[in-house]
Structure 1
C-alpha cells in the first residue's frame, strides 16, 4: 500500500522511490582503472532490472454507476456495471536469482495487485506472481518463469560508506530503463514511516516516481539497496531519497523463501522513552534510553535477566535513544538471533545476551477469511467486544470498502448466525460464497452483502 506522511511545511513522503536535483561528479577510478564513462557498469547491471506493470480493480468514483443514484433519478439500470474499474501503475524490480526467477521489489508496488507483468530490457513481457511480501520493511518477492534471465549480484550493504558513488536504475514515470548517478548521503535513516521497520540508505541519486523497487548499485556492479521512498513537496525530485539495504532485503527474502512468512524477532518487553530528567528521578545518570516498564513471562528479556526499571542503552553496540529505536532495531532482526544488550540498572552499567523469540502476527487480514473482505483487518484479540467482532481497519478503495464496510464496524451476525469470535466468522465464511453481515455502526444496525 502506497502511503503518504505530511511533514512540516507540507513535505510529503511518497512511497514511489527517491530523487535528486544534483549530480555527483564521476569517480576518477574504479578498481585502479581510470574511469571515463560508467557505460560498462551500466551495461552489466541494467539487464537485471525489470519494469513492473501492476493492475488492480478499485471502486469507480463515477456517481452514475451508483445504483441508488440511478434509482433516485429514474435512470435505467446498468446490468453489467458493478461500480468497479481497473487501474494500472508502474514500478521496478531486480532479478536476484535468474535460475529460479526471483525478483526483489517493494511491497507497495505489488502488494495490492490483481495482475503483475514484468518487461525485460529486451522488450519481452512475462506474467509474474507474488511469492511473499513484508509491509513493515516494504520488501516483496515476485517470481517469473522465463529463460535467459540475467541476475544482479547482491553486495554487502554493511560495508557501504557515506560518500560512496552509486548508480540507480529503474523505470521512472513508466519511461523504461533509466540510469542516474550520485553518492551515499547518509546511513541508518529511520523515522520515515510511522509503522515500519527502517534502516534506510539515503542517497542523492536522481530518482523519480516509478523507480520503486529499482536497484541502487555500487561501483562494482553489485546491488546494495532497493529504492523505496522519497521526501518531497511535490512527489518529484529534491535530492533526498531512501533505499532498503540488501542486508535487510536479503534477510526478508530468505525468510519468505524458507518459511513462507516473516519470523520477526521479539524481545518481550514493554518500553517507553526516557530522558535525563526522568532517569535522574529513578536514580540513573543517563541522557536517554528505553525504559523497561513490563516484561513478558518466559520471554527473551526475562531469560536474559532484564528487569522492570532497567534502561536499555545499546543493542549490538548501536546506541538506543528511546523506545522507537529499540522497536526498530529488534524488529529488523530475525527470531532466534542472539543479541548483545547494554543497559543501566541503579546507575550501574551492565551487559547481557538474549536469544530473540518470534513475534506473532497480531492481526488477521480480511482476504484470509473471504475474498470479499480484502482490504479489511481484524485484530486477533477481536471478539467478545460488545458481542461482536470489530473491524480494526478498512483500506480506502479496497473490496471491503467498496462493499460499504468501515473501520470500527462491529460484525454481530453472519448469515443470521451470531458471531463472537474470529473463529466463528472463519467457520461460516468457509462454507458460503456469499456472506450477509449484520453490522452495528454507532446507534445503527446495517446489513451488507459480501460476495
Structure 2
C-alpha cells in the first residue's frame, strides 16, 4: 500500500514539473515566433534605411554638370516672302514683301574647337546662324553639311577650349536605363530633364526619315530639338529630334536619333560633305509570326548575294546585335558605311548560320528624286505585275503624290513621257525636270497591277 502511495506521489510530482517547464519554456518560444512573423509584414509606407539608400543611389548631378555647358542655343534666321495680292495684280505672280523669320533650337558641342551637331530641321533654309553658349557668348556659325534622311546637321564656330560631350554607344543602352535630356525649350537655356529609355528601334510612321529612334519619357519641348540625350555618365547617346504630341508640347514620349547613327553621319559630313548609305542588298517582307527580318529576295551583284544569303532566311542578328524587326536592321545599317564588313546571323530552316557580308552603297541600287526613293525591280515582281520595265517606289515623301494614292510598291513607268528602265534614267530626268512642280505627266502601275496615268491638274 505504501509502495503504491509513493508511486502516485512521484507521478504527480513529475507531471507538475513537466507542466511548469512547458509553460515557461515552450509556450514563450511559440509566442515569440508569432511576434516575429507579424513584424516581417512591412506596411505600404516604411522608413527602412536600406530602401531609402537604394532610392537615392541614382545621381544625375555629375552628368548634368558635365553636359549643361556643352549644349548650345541655335538661332536660325531665314527670309520669307509675304504675298501681296494688290502688287501681284500689277507686277505679276511671285511679287511680295520680304521679311525675316527667326527659329530657335539646340545644338551639342562635340569637339573643343567648335563643331556642333544639331537637327537639320532646326537650321533648314537658314540665311544666318547664331550660336549662344551657356556663358552667354555669341558666335556666328558656318554650316558644314546636312543630311535630311537622318535629320542631322553639322555646324562650326570659330572658338577653342570649349566644353564638349563625348559620344557613347547607343547600341549598349538598355530599356529602363536612366537618361537626361539637355536643351533649350521655349528659349529657356540650360534645361535638364530626366526619364528612362522607354523603347529602342522605334519607327515613327510617316516621319519620312530614319526608322530607328530611341524613345524616352524625359520631357522634351519645342526648342529641345538638336539637344543632347545623355546617360548617367554624361555620354551622348542621342540627339533629341521629335515628340509625340497632339498639342505640340510634351505629353509623354520623345524621340532621339541614336548617337551611333549621328556619329557616323557627322564623320561623313566632315570628310566628304555628304553621307553615303550602306545596304545589305536584300528585299524584305513583313511576316507576323517571325522574330527577325524575313528575306524575300536577294539582289544580284550585292554583298548579300556574294556572301550566300538566300530568300527565306530570317535575319536575327547583325554584328551580334539582336534584330527583332525591320527598324532594328535599318538602325544598324544606318550606322555603317559602304564597304564595311558585317556579321549577319540568320535562321535558315531552323538552323543558325553566320555570313560575313560586305555592304553595298545605296546609290548603286536606289536613287532619290522628286520626294520619291526609286529602287530596281526583281524578275519575280515584274512577272507578278506583268511588266517589263519601270522602277519601284521604295519610299515616298511627296505629299502631292501621296494624295494621289501613290505609295511604296507602286511601279513608275514614265515621267513627262520619259520612260524609266534604270536608275540612270531617273538621273537624266532630274537634269531635265528641276523640281516636282514641273512633273506634268506620270504613268504608274498600282498594287493591283493596273496602269494609271496622272496629268497636271491632279
Query: Number of residue pairs matched?
Result: 356
**Equivalent residue for 1:337?**
340
Correspondence list, 1:82-231, <5 A: 82=96, 84-99=98-113, 101-180=114-193, 182-194=194-206, 195-231=208-244
Contact 1:46 1:121 in 2 (8 A): yes
CA distance in 2, matches of 1:378, 1:66: 36
Cα distance change on mapping 1:77 and 1:306 into 2, 3 Å: closer
Q: Tell me how far apart the structure 1 counterparts of residues 224 and 354 of structure 2 sit (CA, whole Å).
A: 43
Q: For each residue in 1:124-163, what CA deviation from the matched residue of structure 2 results, as whole angstroms up to 9, or x when unmatched? A: 3222122122222222211112345322233343443444
Query: Does the CA contact (< 8 Å) of 2:175 and 2:200 recur in 1?
Result: no
Q: SS in structure 1 opposite 2:131?
A: strand
* Residue in structure 2 matched with residue 56 of structure 1 by the alignment: 78
Greater CA drift, 153-162 or 110-119: 153-162
Check 1:260–1:144 CA distance in 2 against 1; reply closer, same or farther (3 A cut). Answer: same
Distance 1:378-1:95 versus aligned 2 partners, 3 A rule: same
Larger Rg: 2
8 Å contact kept, 1:57–1:84: yes
Structure 2 contact 107–228 (Cα < 8 Å) conserved: yes
- CA offset at residue 302 of structure 1? 0.9
Following superposition, the deviation at residue 377 of structure 1 comes to 4.9
The answer to whether the 8 Å contact 1:198/1:332 transfers is no
| Preserved CA contact (<8 Å) 1:338 1:355 | yes
Relative to 1, partners in 2 of residues 1:343 and 1:221: Cα closer, same or farther, differing over 3 Å?
A: closer
Query: Which of the two has greater helix per residue?
Result: 2
CA drift at 1:177? 2.7
Give a deviation string over 1:304-329, Cα, whole Å, max 9, x none.
Answer: 11123333333334444454544444
Q: Contact 1:41/1:219 (CA < 8 Å) preserved in 2?
A: yes
The 8 Å contact of residues 74 and 107 in structure 2, kept in 1 or not, is answered as yes
1:235 corresponds, among 232, 243, 248, to 248
Mapped partners of 1:85, 1:29: distance in 2: 53
Q: Which runs of 5+ in 1 are unaligned?
A: 1-24, 277-286, 366-375, 387-391, 397-407, 414-419, 430-434, 446-451
Report the Cα distance in structure 2 between the residues aligned to 1:228 and 1:439, rounded to whole angstroms: 32
- 1:252 deviates by 1.7
Question: Secondary structure of 2:255's match?
Answer: strand
User: How far apart are the structure 2 equivalents of 1:394 and 1:304?
Assistant: 36
**Do the aligned partners of residues 440 and 318 (structure 1) sit closer, same or farther apart at CA in structure 2, a change above 3 Å counting?**
same
Q: CA deviation at 1:262?
A: 1.8
Q: Secondary structure at the match of 2:338?
A: coil
1:28 aligned to 41, 51, 56, which one? 56
> 1 CA distance for matches of 2:273 and 2:426?
26
TM-score, normalising length from structure 2? 0.65
Quote how far apart the aligned CAs of 1:363 are.
4.1
Secondary structure of 1:186's aligned partner: strand
Q: Residue 104 of structure 1: SS of its match in structure 2?
A: strand
1:360 partner SS: helix
Distance 1:275 1:424, change over 3 A: closer
Go from structure 1 to structure 2 and tell me whether the alpha carbon gap of 1:177 and 1:65 turns closer, same or farther (over 3 Å shift). farther
- Residue 92 of structure 1: how far off its partner (Å): 0.3
Deviations, residues 61-86 of structure 1 (Å, cap 9, x unaligned):
x463672xxx3xxxx65999436543
Contiguous gaps of at least 5 residues in structure 2: 1-52, 377-388, 391-395, 401-412, 419-424, 442-453
Q: Per the alignment, do residues 326 and 82 of structure 1 end up closer, same or farther by CA in structure 2, a change over 3 Å counting?
A: same
Is 1:300 the counterpart of 2:307? The answer is: no
RMSD of the alignment, in Å? 4.0
Q: Which residue of 2 aligns with 1:45?
A: 67
Aligned partner of 1:9 in structure 2 is none
Q: Give the match for residue 314 of structure 1.
A: 317
